[in-house]
A and B are shown apart, each in its own frame.
Chain A
Amino acid sequence: MKQTILTIQGNDCIAKNVYRMQLAGDTTGILPGQFVNIRVEGQFLRRPISVCNVTKAKGERLRAPQNATSVFGDPAWAKGVLTIIYKVVGVGTEAMSQLPVGTQLDVLTVLGNGYDLSKAGDNPLLVGGGVGVPPMYMLARQLREMGKNVRVILGFNTKDEVFYEEEFRQLGCDVTVTTVDGSHGVKGFVTNALDGKQSYYYTCGPLPMIKALLQAVGTNGEVSMEERMGCGFGACMGCTIQTTQGPKRVCKEGPVFAANELLL
């Protein structure tokens, strides 16, 4: 765990109620599948959000925040950019969506375990549902950099909610989008787009999706779990789930679990 101050570089609506926030500062040590925990003014608890991507800050990508020139005195500004994608679901995420560029946020980073990339095999399958899509992006990028043939299935309710289809394609992934109402891509659920050819899978999404997926493809994969958290770093025991290996904290031993240790 690290505690750091990150500066908002962008905070844009990219789909219905879905925002992408880019945060500049010390992003070192962050792995795909981990999450960050953000302090939002006016809220007691931090907001845990999955990591979508981390990039080195390139000169041309740095835009000067108009009302926060002081960040240039901070060497951390140059270290990296963290991308998170979040859905507005309550007062905390609503407040986050209103934050202007240049706002400095108190963020806990390098939280949770992350995905095990060594198990991917040659043809990994990545399945993301709704706000379970973002953690698949950094994973897909790194798997592509390792030369893997990455197949991605992104599930949404309807076309207004679809995001990052093109971004995954640009990584060179084989992308299928499903929508429940058929308004975009394949009609139905992510399970309607399976071909059974994956060497291993990684998934994140709503519980009904995960249950259906595990029933369809078995347990040769990893699942990122979501639970209501107190601290997000292992102290409060607020998010402990039962597994075949005993009680485990989603925030600390998770959020990524081997599919065969879950009791769903």
Chain B
Amino acid sequence: MSDKLQIELSGVKLANPVIPASGTYGFGDEFAELYDINCLGGISFKGTTREARYGNPLPRIAECGNYGMINAVGLQNPGVEHVIAHELPRLKSHYNGCIVANVSGFSVQDYVETCALLDKEPIDILEVNISCPNVHNGGMAFGTSPEAAAEVTAAVKAVTTKPVYMKLSPNVTDIVAIAKACEAAGADGLCLINTVLGMRIDIRRRRPVIANRYGGYSGSGIFPLALRMVNQVARATSLPIIGCGGVSSAEDVIEMMMAGATAVEIGAANLTNPMVAKEIIDRLPALMDELKIDKLTDIIGIVNHE
């Protein structure tokens, strides 16, 4: 059974393709109260920056019907040195799976310093977030121009031996151009998509719900958009892709892989059902039998094979 679910990302073996997405899983502590998180394929830990950040003013959360939510947390985190000294050792003490280190920055130098520090640590993959919609002068600014995306990619690659996966924004005219720029600059893989820039208004108070006005929309409502972008990028590049965006069931995982993803991140669904990642992993073998899939690796990008 283990072979059926196993996948590989740039030489890193994962027991299954399911990875909780950064920012929806902290460092796993809260979920470990409910189940053994060693069942996961990997964990993408909370977006980490060079310095500690409080993030944006409250409210940071707005609901979007039954289909999702908007968040404008703004990369609240204790800073990379604190993460290396406290959160990472704590995670390693009870979790043996793949660790995806999600990093963000406000300048190329920020990314370089944070990734250089993490290069010496027991993490498996660097996930470089150039797509956070909730911070000014950084984050998404690097992910909306092919030149800037390439610059960050090359700069990070120069200071690390870890596989570098660039996390892309959907808030662009042409995500394929950004993906190709990252590939040309030496990225080992891609993760897409981050949240979609959105807004809600409190019609009684006549003002935006989110204190920061706009925020990142996530949840099952963005799944078709994410799937389409994963498929476009899979057809245009040869990099492994971690598919992300609105995934909330084992069926969604299969669909994302058929579109071209090698692994799949679960985001907002973790926040509404903290058991969802485990439930998806438990459900996959039966669903594969039903769909006559022997190994998950057989279906990666299967809709792209003519």
Using CB atoms and an 8 Å cutoff, list the residues of chain A in contact with chain B: 1-3, 39, 42-46, 92, 106, 108, 227-231, 233-242, 247, 252
Q: Once the chains bind, are B30 and A234 in contact (CB under 8 Å)?
A: yes
B68 within 8 A of A: yes
Q: Once the chains bind, are B54 and A247 in contact (CB under 8 Å)?
A: yes
**Which 10 residue pairs across A and B have the least CB separation, nearest first?**
A231-B271, A238-B61, A228-B59, A237-B76, A230-B61, A234-B30, A237-B73, A238-B60, A235-B26, A1-B33
Residues of B within 8 A of A1 (CB): 30, 33-34, 274
Q: Once the chains bind, are A45 and B71 in contact (CB under 8 Å)?
A: no
What is the CA–CA distance of A39 and B68 in the complex, to the nearest angstrom?
14
Q: From residue B91, how far is it (CB to closest CB) to chain A in Å?
A: 14
Query: Of B54, B58, B68, B274, which is within 8 A of A233 by CB?
Result: B274
Q: Scan residues 270-286 of chain B and give those whose CB is less than 8 A from a CB of chain A.
A: 270-275
Using CB atoms and an 8 Å cutoff, list the residues of chain B in contact with chain A: 23-26, 29-31, 33-34, 46, 54-55, 58-69, 71, 73, 76, 219, 268, 270-275
Query: Of B60, B63, B65, B270, which is within 8 A of A235 by CB?
Result: B270
Minimum CB distance partner of B73 in chain A: A237
Residues of A within 8 A of B26 (CB): 234-235, 237
Residues of A within 8 A of B274 (CB): 1, 3, 108, 231, 233, 235
Assuming the contacts A39-B272, A235-B270, asked whether A44 and B219 have C-beta atoms less than 8 A apart, the reply is: yes
Q: Once the chains bind, are B272 and A42 in contact (CB under 8 Å)?
A: no
Residues of B within 8 A of A247 (CB): 54-55, 76
Q: Once the chains bind, are B271 and A235 in contact (CB under 8 Å)?
A: yes
Q: From residue A245, how far is it (CB to closest CB) to chain B in Å?
A: 13
Q: Once the chains bind, are B30 and A235 in contact (CB under 8 Å)?
A: yes
What is the CA–CA distance of A227 and B76 in the complex, to the nearest angstrom?
16
Minimum CB distance partner of B74 in chain A: A237
The contact sample of 17 A-B pairs, CB cut-off 8 A, is A3-B275, A44-B219, A44-B268, A45-B63, A45-B272, A227-B59, A228-B58, A231-B24, A231-B271, A233-B30, A235-B25, A235-B26, A237-B23, A237-B46, A237-B60, A238-B73, A252-B30
Q: From residue A38, how far is it (CB to closest CB) to chain B in Å?
A: 11
What is the CA–CA distance of A242 and B46 in the complex, to the nearest angstrom?
19
Query: Of B54, B60, B273, which is within 8 A of A242 by CB?
Result: B54
Residues of A within 8 A of B55 (CB): 237, 240, 247
Minimum CB distance partner of A42 in chain B: B66
Q: From residue B271, how far is it (CB to closest CB) to chain A in Å?
A: 4
Q: Once the chains bind, are A239 and B71 in contact (CB under 8 Å)?
A: no
Q: From residue B114, how far is it (CB to closest CB) to chain A in Å?
A: 18
What is the CA–CA distance of A234 and B25 in the complex, to the nearest angstrom?
9
What is the CA–CA distance of A49 and B298 in the complex, to the nearest angstrom?
46
Minimum CB distance partner of B35 in chain A: A3
Q: Once the chains bind, are A45 and B29 in contact (CB under 8 Å)?
A: no
Minimum CB distance partner of B47 in chain A: A237
Q: From residue B270, how far is it (CB to closest CB) to chain A in Å?
A: 7
Residues of A within 8 A of B67 (CB): 44
Assuming the contacts A228-B58, A235-B31, A237-B55, asked whether A46 and B272 have C-beta atoms less than 8 A apart, the reply is: yes
Minimum CB distance partner of A242 in chain B: B54
Residues of B within 8 A of A42 (CB): 66
What is the CA–CA distance of A236 and B25 in the complex, to the nearest angstrom?
7
Residues of B within 8 A of A252 (CB): 30
What is the CA–CA distance of A241 and B68 in the complex, to the nearest angstrom?
23
Residues of B within 8 A of A239 (CB): 58, 60-61
Residues of B within 8 A of A2 (CB): 34
Assuming the contacts A236-B73, A237-B55, asked whether A43 and B275 have C-beta atoms less than 8 A apart, the reply is: no
Q: Once the chains bind, are B66 and A240 in contact (CB under 8 Å)?
A: no
Residues of B within 8 A of A234 (CB): 26, 29-30
Q: Once the chains bind, are A236 and B271 in contact (CB under 8 Å)?
A: yes
Q: Once the chains bind, are B59 and A44 in contact (CB under 8 Å)?
A: no
Q: From residue B43, how far is it (CB to closest CB) to chain A in Å?
A: 12
Query: Of B24, B25, B30, B61, which is within 8 A of A228 by CB?
Result: B61
